[in-house]
Structure 1
Amino acid sequence: MEKELKRFKVLAYVVGVALLLLCVALVLKYVGDAPTMMRIIGPGHGFLYAVYLVVSIDLAIKARWSMKGTGLVLVAGMIPFLSFYAERKVHEKMQAGLPL
């Protein structure tokens, strides 16, 4: 289970950073009239989020998370800064052997 947890941790941080970059790109596109960054970051974040979903669901099945806990972790990748918080909570609960 350590390997799956580490994979989740890395992807949670990568998706979180990509989402923050996406927010910056969005502002630059609409405020600064510079759509280039959005064209690069947008698809990249979409791909990374899809990988995050697969890794999260894999960990959820192996760790027997509840449907609510799994859903919250999946949604965390769509809200800026929330994936960092979700990763920390998942790590704490998994280390303590508590259900999510």
Structure 2
Amino acid sequence: MESALKPFRVLAYIVGTMLLILCAAIVLRYGFDIPEPSKIVSPIHGFLYMLYLIAVLNLGMKARWTWGYMLGVMLAGTVPLLSFVIERKVTARVQETIAA
């Protein structure tokens, strides 16, 4: 389970950061009519989000989470700043499970 936790943590931070960058790019696109940054950032974020989903699935299967909990963790990557909060909660939960 520990082997699946590290990729999840790294991807949670990367996806959270990329989502914030994507939000800024969207503001530039629709607020200031500068579409180039969002054209670059959108596919990168999409690819990294897919890797995040795989990392959540891998960790969730090893930790024997319910499908509902896994889905909630997966959706955390779609809300700005939430992936950072959920990463902390998931890490604490997994470390508790490992200690028990």
TM-score normalised to structure 1 length? 0.94
Q: Which residue of 2 aligns with 1:56?
A: 56
Q: CA deviation at 1:68?
A: 1.7
Q: CA deviation at 1:72?
A: 0.5
Q: Which residue of 2 aligns with 1:6?
A: 6
Matching of residue 47 in structure 1 with residue 33 in structure 2: no
Q: Which residue of 1 aligns with 2:16?
A: 16
Identify the structure with the greater helix proportion.
2
- Separation (CA, whole Å) in 1 of partners of 2:94 and 2:55: 15
Unpaired segments ≥5 residues, structure 2: none
What do residues 71-93 of structure 1 show as CA deviations (whole Å, max 9, x unaligned)? 10010000100110110000011
Percent identical among aligned pairs is 48
How many positions carry a matched residue from both structures?
Answer: 98
- Separation (CA, whole Å) in 1 of partners of 2:54 and 2:67: 15
Q: Which residue of 2 aligns with 1:34?
A: 34
Deviating beyond 4 angstroms after TM superposition, the runs of 4 or more aligned structure 1 residues are: none
Q: CA deviation at 1:66?
A: 1.1
